[in-house]
Amino acid sequence: MRKKLAQLIYVAHVGVIVVWWGLFFVPLSWWIDKVFFQFYLSLFIVTQQFLWGFLIMPWTRKYRMVCFLTTLTQLLRGKNIADKENYSHSFFKEIFAKGGIKIPNRASTVITFAVLLLTTIQYIRFR
C-alpha cells in the first residue's frame, strides 16, 4: 500500500511540474490570466520549498530547499526524514534519470529559480 501511495504522490508531483512548465507553451490568447497564475504558482512552489526546508531542519541538521511532496514520497519509500536520501533528494534528477539523462545535484535549484525568474519577467512585462 505504501509503495502504491508513493507512486501516486510521485505522479501527482510530475503533474504539478508538467503544469508549471507547460504553462510557458499556453498562448495568452487561450488564457489571458495564465501569466499571473503561473507567477503565483511559482511563488507558491518556491516558498513552500523554503518553508519546508526550514521546518525539517531539526531532523536534518541542515538547511535545504525541499519540496513537501518529495519528503512525503521518500517517507513512503521507507526513508527517514533525517536520511540524506530525503532532504538531499532531487525530484528533477530522478525524473531526468528515468529518461536516461544525468544532471548534477544543484540542477533542481537552478531549474526552480530559472522558472521563477522567467515567470517573474513575464509577470512584470504583462502587468
End-to-end CA distance of the chain: 46
Supply the pLDDT for residue 82. 85
Supply the pLDDT for residue 117. 96
Supply the pLDDT for residue 46. 96
Count the neighbouring beta carbons within 10 Å of the beta carbon of residue 33: 9
- The pLDDT tens digits of the residues spanning 28-47 come to 999 999 999 999 999 999 99
C-alpha distances out from residue 41 to 9, 35, 83, 119, 123, Å: 18, 10, 29, 9, 12
Set of cell numbers at residue 21: 512548465
Mean pLDDT in residue range 88-106: 81
Supply the pLDDT for residue 81. 86
| H or E stretch covering 22 | helix 2-22
Count of structural domains, the chain: 1
The parent domain of residue 71 ranges over: 2-126
- The pLDDT tens digits of the residues spanning 64-84 come to 888 999 889 888 988 888 887
Torsions phi, psi of 103, nearest 5?
-125, 150
